[in-house]
Amino acid sequence: MPAFKSDRLFHALNHAMFVALGLIMLLPMVHLLALSLSSSRFIQFNEVYLWPKGFNLAGYEYIVGQERLWRAMGVSIYITVVGTAIALFFTLTLAYALSRSYMPGKGLILKLILVTFIFPVAMIPYFLVVKQLHLLDTLWSLMLPNALGAWYVFITKTFFQGLSNELFEAGRIDGCNEYALFWRIALPMSLPVIATIGLFYAVNQWNAYFDAIIFIRDQHMYPIQMLVREIAVVGNMTDNMEDFSRVAGEVSQKQVIAGVILFASFPIMLVYPFLQKYFVKGAMLGSLKE
């Protein structure tokens, strides 16, 4: 890489900007972490910023002891993993098919899908569909209805369209049928977009709670965000000053809330770093050598 002087300046500025930006993005998390480790006295008086005061682990002890939090975590992990797999199945197949110029009815179908993207889905009919499919109060109701989104279809289709045709030609010459072209050629070449769409679905699935409100009645099947909502959000909106006092001494409501939020966000935040290798430039193009 030729090293121009302006190059070095650019890199310096760029790196500096990212450091500053990174700090700004990190601050709220650090603040939450500090809150989750501080004692109520300091929290109430708004004296906790980025460093815990009155350090104690009572908040996390409470969380560890809450069986329902762990169960909800398990439910969320399950519906995220399986739900994402289901979503990828629907999305990749449909988007691939729509990216092929010889797909019958392509234009019409895409327009219809656009309509579903723009027009809202009414809650009551949505609920009734799931009910009529006998999915109420099952984990399926949390994984199936939201397993396909127009937004994702459009993005994925765009990526598939960008795949170079030579490999497909080569495949056809070798006698591959459409299914094989999809499975053996298109998919392996699309790992970045599979990783991306999978990540998006996973995060969406992880953060979702609306479906759980209307479809799930059994508290054992609540995903983690339902509980976060209870603890961090809803409980604060009405005037029922409740009984965190039942928990020993140092634990204040805000401390537990901060801890629960971090607890609920932690697993999903870890997914992206693991997927980063799919975002490396040119990593997937090894199969196509001029």
Partner 1 sequence: MSKKWVVWMVCCLLFASVAAGCSSKKNDSSNGEPTKQGSTASATNATNAAGQTPYTFTWALSNENTTYIRELKPDDPYTNELKRLTNVDVNYQWYETADREKIVSTRIASNDLPDVLQLADTGINNPILLSAVDGGAFLPLNELLEKYGQNILKAVPEETWSSPQLSRNGKIYGIPKLALQAATKGLFVRQDWLDKFNMKTPETLDDYMAYFDAIRNTDLNGNGKQDEVPAAFVGDFSNVNWVYNWLLEGYYGVFPGQWKWVDGKAMPDQIDPKIKDLLTAYKAMYDKGYMNQDVFTALLKDRYARIMTGTVGAFIHDAPQAGSNGSYGSTGKYEVDGVKVSVLTGPVAQDGTKRFQPLGTGILRVNVINAKTKNPEEIIKYWDWMLSGAAEANNFFSYGIESLDYKLDNGAVKYTDERVAANSVVYQYMLTIKDWRGSKQVNALDPEGEVVQKALDDIMAATDDRGMFKFMPLPDVVVKNPQLGIGDGSLYADMFAKVLLGREKVDEAFDQYVSTWKAQGGDKAIEEATAWYQTYSK
Partner 2 sequence: MHDRFRLIRALTRPRIAIFLIAVPGMLHFLFFKYYPLLGNVIAFQNYDLFRGIWHSEWVGLEHFIRMFDYGEFILILRNTLLIGIYQLAFGFPAPLLLALLINEVRVKWFKQTAQSVLYLPHFLSWIIVGSMFIELLAPEGPLNALLVQWFRIEPVYFMTEPVYFRSILVSVGIWKAVGWGTIIYLAAMAGINPSLYEAAVMDGANRWRQMTAITLPALTPAIVVLFLLNVGHLLDKNVEQMLVFLNPLVRDVGEVIDTYVYRVGLIGAQFSYTTAIGIFKSVVGLVLVVSLNQMSKKMTGETIY
Residue of the chain from 125, 220, 238, 248 that contacts partner 2 (CB under 8 A): 125
Residues 44-83 that bind partner 1 (CB under 8 A): 44-45, 66, 68, 78, 81-82
Q: Under the criterion CB under 8 A, does residue 15 sit at the interface with partner 2?
A: yes
Shortest Å distance, C-beta 202 to partner 1: 13
* Candidates 36-44, 62-70, 77-85, 142-150; binding stretch for partner 2 (CB under 8 A): 142-150
Q: Which is nearer to partner 1, 6 or 238 (CB)?
A: 238
Q: Tell me, by CB under 8 A, how many residues bind partner 2.
A: 99
> How is residue 139 annotated by DSSP?
T
Shortest Å distance, C-beta 60 to partner 2: 18
Give every CB contact of residue 8 below 8 A, 6+ residues apart in sequence.
Answer: none
Tell me the three state secondary structure of residue 23.
helix
Q: Under the criterion CB under 8 A, does residue 235 sit at the interface with partner 2?
A: no
Residues 180-199 that bind partner 1 (CB under 8 A): 184, 187-188, 191
- The answer to whether the CB of 163 falls within 8 A of the CB of 190 is yes
Cα 67 to the chain's mean position, in Å?
A: 24
Q: Under the criterion CB under 8 A, does residue 55 sit at the interface with partner 2?
A: no
Q: Under the criterion CB under 8 A, does residue 45 sit at the interface with partner 2?
A: no
* Candidates 19-27, 51-59, 66-74, 241-249; binding stretch for partner 2 (CB under 8 A): 19-27
Determine whether 10 is exposed, middle or buried from the number of CB atoms within 10 Å of its CB (0-12, 13-18, 19+). Answer: exposed
* Candidates 15-23, 108-116, 213-221, 263-271; binding stretch for partner 1 (CB under 8 A): 213-221
Q: Under the criterion CB under 8 A, does residue 26 sit at the interface with partner 2?
A: yes
Helices (H), the chain: 5-36, 40-44, 58-65, 67-99, 106-118, 123-132, 140-143, 150-161, 165-173, 178-180, 187-189, 191-207, 210-215, 224-228, 235-237, 253-269, 271-275
Number of H helices, E strands in the chain: 17, 0
Residues 111-150 that bind partner 1 (CB under 8 A): 123-124, 127-128, 131, 136-140, 143
* Candidates 146-154, 155-163, 233-241, 264-272; binding stretch for partner 1 (CB under 8 A): 233-241
Rounded Cα distance, 81 and 147, in Å: 12
Q: Tell me, by CB under 8 A, how many residues bind partner 1.
A: 49
Helices (H), 119-223: 123-132, 140-143, 150-161, 165-173, 178-180, 187-189, 191-207, 210-215
Give every CB contact of residue 288 below 8 A, 6+ residues apart in sequence.
Answer: 164, 166, 167, 189
Tell me the three state secondary structure of residue 256.
helix
Q: Under the criterion CB under 8 A, does residue 117 sit at the interface with partner 2?
A: yes
Binding site for partner 1 (CB under 8 A): 40-41, 44-45, 66, 68, 78, 81-82, 85-86, 89, 123-124, 127-128, 131, 136-140, 143, 184, 187-188, 191, 213-214, 217-220, 229-230, 234-246, 254
